[in-house]
Structure 1
Amino acid sequence: MKVSKRLCLLFLVITVNFSPLHLVKAKSGEAVIINIGKDAKVFLYYEDTYLDGPPLNLLSGDTLKVDFNKAFSSPVMVYTPEGFKHLGMGFLIMPGDTVKLDYDAIQESILFKGKHQAELYFAKQLGHLPYSLKGPFDQISYGSKTPFEEFLAEWHKISLDSEKLIKTLKFSPAIRPEIASYFEKAIRLRVFQILLIPVITQDADKPLRPLDKVYKDAVTSQAKKLKIFGNFADPISIDAIYTLRAYAMFLARINGKYGEFGEQYEIIRNDYQGKLKELALYSIIKNLDAANEDITPLLKDYKELYGKENKYALKLVERGKLNNVNLLADFKLNDTLYASNNQEITFFDILKKNKGKVIYLDLWASWCKPCLEEMPASLKLADEYRNKEVVVLYLSIDEDHEKWENSLIDLLIDAPETYRFKNVEKAGLKEKFKIGAIPRFLIINKEGVVRYAYAPRPHEPKLEEMLDNLLAK
């Protein structure tokens, strides 16, 4: 079976220290971000590609300090989910910056305030442009039958618009040179990613669409301008990693291949060097693992390249161990939960009650729009397997009990197995399985052993095959 070649979006984030201070200014070597909103929680994704982890939750009145002396190169991109759905807006911070955030519930957007207001405004505008920092896949909705000349004509318009924007950026005295340089590179990388859409969106289950000469020449020309084989990514960013992977897919395509994960890995392994190569290969293996495919050969090669003690190799090994965790054997996982009737119950009690059944664990929250979008498919799945010894458990990470209760009335009134962590911040299950970004799904076998720590979403066809296989055992 072919693995989809689409670039699975991977949030590479780094955790920094929280401080409950409300009014504070950044000191030398640090930046400060303050949530000045009255009620809303703000979620932040830090783009620093040396570590990955869950998003940071900044409560009302909380202050976040970013220490450039210890963890970051300068500048650092901070993403904020637009309407808690897309990574729609981002802003850059540098040592000495103090940025204030306020979530606008009506507009479902983040308002930025700070000394460098022109930079914050410019960053916000980027979130609404065709070559925005949201991702290349939904920017130009061309099907596989769109003529290349038509696609290139539209792409050239975007390219020209981007050059005008870059020119404006360079001649804006209110925008610091370091910030302007970062944005220029980010825009150029994203425009190049858009050019690669016909390659990225090739369906792995359909015949390869030949790339015509004009298109191939356009990609090759842009790659040379970006110095795609050189040190074009400084500092290294998420965009740089995925631009490199998209270009590897292009190189595979011109050689008659689909550009799947393994082919991306081989090209980048052989043709690139440095930190970008290390991180790109790591992201490929991690995406392959998330697709529940065998990563053993690539992980073995990665260890040979960078050593068994390489921190990314260790992350992949630890990630694999999560697919064989006996939940009842670790008392730290026996979290106290609230049931839909407001009675307390332990996680072990739920597992014991459902022993002999396959469990599909749906981790969600009432404020999470992607979670809510999956609910119809999840409820349909629960109904289809109701008489097949499969139970769908809904476990919320909501902290607000009332909002959780109200969401049950709206969404899960007929779902029998709905729960909420009593103390989500100290939940052993959340810590053990690195549950940060949601929705997140786990599949647990009849004996209470996790078999898929990163299970497919309810709408994905592969899910039913996994459940049926476990039922047959």
Structure 2
Amino acid sequence: MKYICIVFFLVISISSCRQQAINEKCGKNIVVCFNHYHPKPHRTPGGMRHVPMPKVLYTDSIGTLMEYMPDKDFDTITLYSTEHFKELGLNYGDFEFNYYPLMQGDTITISMDSLNYPILSSKHHPEYNRFYNMNYELRKGKTHVGVEAKTCLGGSLAHIAKTIDIIRANNWTSLIIDYCPLDSLQSMFDSYKKNYTDTINSFKEQQLISSEIHDRYQYLLKLKDYESRRMLNEDTAFYRQMEPEIADKYIRYPSYREFLDYYLWFLNQHIPTIRKSQGGSKDWRQTFDELSPKTFQPKSKQILLERCIKEIGENFSAQDVNSYLDKYIHITQDTLLPNKIRDQYNLSADANQLLLKDIHGKPTNLNILLKKNRGKVIYVDFWASWCVPCREEMPPSAKLRELYKGKDVVFVYLAFKDQESSWKKAVEQEGLSEVPDNFLITNPKNSKILEKLKLELIPRYIIFDKQGNIVEVNAPRPSDQQAATTIDKYLKQ
């Protein structure tokens, strides 16, 4: 029976990691030692960066994707596998992943070069370093703004190249700095692919790698090719070419999840309403419906549908979420994810209330808040930690609070569709921790009050008069000079 034993422990020094390596040399363990491995986000010369991504990926014995971030100067994970190699994914700068077939029984130290790119070193078999670090050598001279050409072709850098005339006309300097012509990027990637193929063929001829690892490297090159096609591919049926490669036997590879992400990308381009959305939110309900009748093997299908369910939970109403959770259970027989989603969005809560909790976790609701502040004007700010315009209004809001200090005006901050940990961090950053009426909305999906307010976009501001009636459903924001004028009007009543 396959299994992976993951052991996380503090390594006092490299020598202790090496001592463990001697003990594991004859077994099936793969010891991975992280030597001052603290990857930092990469920023292009023009200032472009991506959202944070997991730094280390691997899969457990049933194919569950595991994420890990070394948080010590010397950290270690021990992987156990019955296969003769185990695939490990390492992130570079939040822009791209590379995947490494680590040999059974080996001990590998992972460090970084001066640009924070991963460097692997084998303890027992120095000859393995040639294929462990193959991509590190191949990418030299074939990158643009510090990332691989395929990453540029598959993302926003390709969009810059396609719209460079508009960018230059508007003198958007930061985008111009990151510009590279599409044909140059494609030529760079074609050269990379040729060298990659020649290199892995040479490794196989020298019997440095097995046929299985050779096939795996070919698969990883194909994965890079799929990414390069995303922004440039005009074939809306391209996803069909990928479907024969969707198989549960690949579950044990973390790179398979990236493959499925690319498959979903191309599938979404096939759906006309999504393809024509001009960058708007994808309707993952349609994606779910497209996937439902497909005859994929069960584990792969469940992974694809999980992605849809998570997106539906994030972007659609409680009614839609519950409907698609029922469909998901019927297809997959899995109840763990639906229970997690229902708990996450509090879908079983009283829909007639707007439920809240404060920074200490104490629950309350809007009705209690209104009764407590009867006789005062209430200015409500709907915001979220992830909302940049919301955060930009916080300094003007602080000035507005100071202006009405000691008067019958209450400022209430309600975090909408926010993660609790992110909300608490933003509360501290924005100086709201000392504001008494600062809450997280705990039933944003099913509250009829929010439905009546048609709260879809934030920031949003509303005003209640002294009797607790809504008198402004779209009140001026704090930075607007009319905010004080409007509050004064109801303060005098």
TM tier relative to shorter chain: 0.5 to 0.7
Q: Which residue of 1 aligns with 2:328?
A: 302
Q: Which residue of 1 aligns with 2:105?
A: 96
Q: Which residue of 2 aligns with 1:165?
A: 196
Deviations 1:162-203 (A, max 9, x none): 24422322222445544432232122133123323257xxxx
Of 258, 262, 266, 2:289 maps to 266
Tell me, in whole angstroms, the C-alpha distance in 1 between the residues paired with 2:361 and 2:235.
59
Contact 2:359 2:438 in 1 (8 A): no
Q: Which residue of 1 aligns with 2:70?
A: 57
TM-align CA RMSD: 5.1
Does residue 1:390 correspond to 2:405, yes or no? no
Distance change >3 Å, CA 325–CA 198, structure 1 → 2: same
Tell me, in whole angstroms, the C-alpha distance in 2 between the residues paired with 1:154 and 1:462.
40
1:440-451 to 2 correspondences below 5 Å: 450-451=442-443
Structure 2: segments with no counterpart, 5+ residues: 41-53, 140-146, 165-180, 349-357, 370-379, 402-410, 446-454, 474-493
Of 222, 225, 240, 2:259 maps to 240
SS of residue matched to 1:318? helix
Deviations 1:102-154 (A, max 9, x none): 355x534443322421223224357742125x9932352257879xxx97997
Distance change >3 Å, CA 306–CA 194, structure 1 → 2: same
Distance change >3 Å, CA 35–CA 385, structure 1 → 2: same
Tell me, in whole angstroms, the C-alpha distance in 2 between the residues paired with 1:189 and 1:242.
11
Distance change >3 Å, CA 257–CA 298, structure 1 → 2: farther
Q: Which residue of 2 aligns with 1:195?
A: 229
Contact 1:89 1:126 in 2 (8 A): no
Does residue 1:137 correspond to 2:127, yes or no? no
Tell me, in whole angstroms, the C-alpha distance in 2 between the residues paired with 1:79 and 1:414.
31
Of 172, 175, 180, 2:214 maps to 180
Query: Could you state the TM-score of these two structures normalised by the residue count of structure 1?
Result: 0.58
Bigger RCO of structures 1 and 2 (CA < 8 A, at least 6 apart): 1
Tell me, in whole angstroms, the C-alpha distance in 2 between the residues paired with 1:359 and 1:280.
33
Does residue 1:122 correspond to 2:134, yes or no? yes
How many corresponding residue pairs?
Answer: 354
Tell me, in whole angstroms, the C-alpha distance in 1 between the residues paired with 2:439 and 2:430.
23
Offset at residue 234 of structure 1 (A) = 4.7
Tell me, in whole angstroms, the C-alpha distance in 2 between the residues paired with 1:462 and 1:291.
10
Tell me, in whole angstroms, the C-alpha distance in 1 between the residues paired with 2:461 and 2:337.
27
Contact 1:30 1:68 in 2 (8 A): yes
Contact 1:361 1:395 in 2 (8 A): no
Tell me, in whole angstroms, the C-alpha distance in 2 between the residues paired with 1:56 and 1:296.
34
Q: Which residue of 2 aligns with 1:19?
A: 9
Q: Which residue of 1 aligns with 2:407?
A: none
Offset at residue 18 of structure 1 (A) = 0.8
SS of residue matched to 2:149? coil
Deviations 1:329-350 (A, max 9, x none): xxxxxxxxxxxxxxxxx95299
Tell me, in whole angstroms, the C-alpha distance in 2 between the residues paired with 1:110 and 1:15.
24
SS of residue matched to 1:464? coil
Contact 2:154 2:228 in 1 (8 A): yes
Does residue 1:288 correspond to 2:348, yes or no? no
Deviations 1:273-323 (A, max 9, x none): 11322211111211232335542222211110121xx2xx41242133122
Q: Which residue of 2 aligns with 1:464?
A: 458
Q: What is the aligned-residue identity percentage? A: 9
Q: Which residue of 2 aligns with 1:29?
A: 28
Tell me, in whole angstroms, the C-alpha distance in 1 between the residues paired with 2:413 and 2:90.
38
Q: Which residue of 2 aligns with 1:366?
A: none
Of 341, 344, 347, 1:322 maps to 344
Query: Could you state the TM-score of these two structures normalised by the residue count of structure 2?
Result: 0.56
Tell me, in whole angstroms, the C-alpha distance in 2 between the residues paired with 1:223 and 1:98.
40
Tell me, in whole angstroms, the C-alpha distance in 1 between the residues paired with 2:440 and 2:199.
59
SS of residue matched to 1:216? coil
Deviations 1:359-389 (A, max 9, x none): 8675xxxxxxxxxxx7976641423554552
Contact 2:55 2:90 in 1 (8 A): yes
Tell me, in whole angstroms, the C-alpha distance in 2 between the residues paired with 1:302 and 1:102.
42
SS of residue matched to 1:271? coil
Letter in 2 for 1:91: Y
Tell me, in whole angstroms, the C-alpha distance in 1 between the residues paired with 2:397 and 2:66.
33
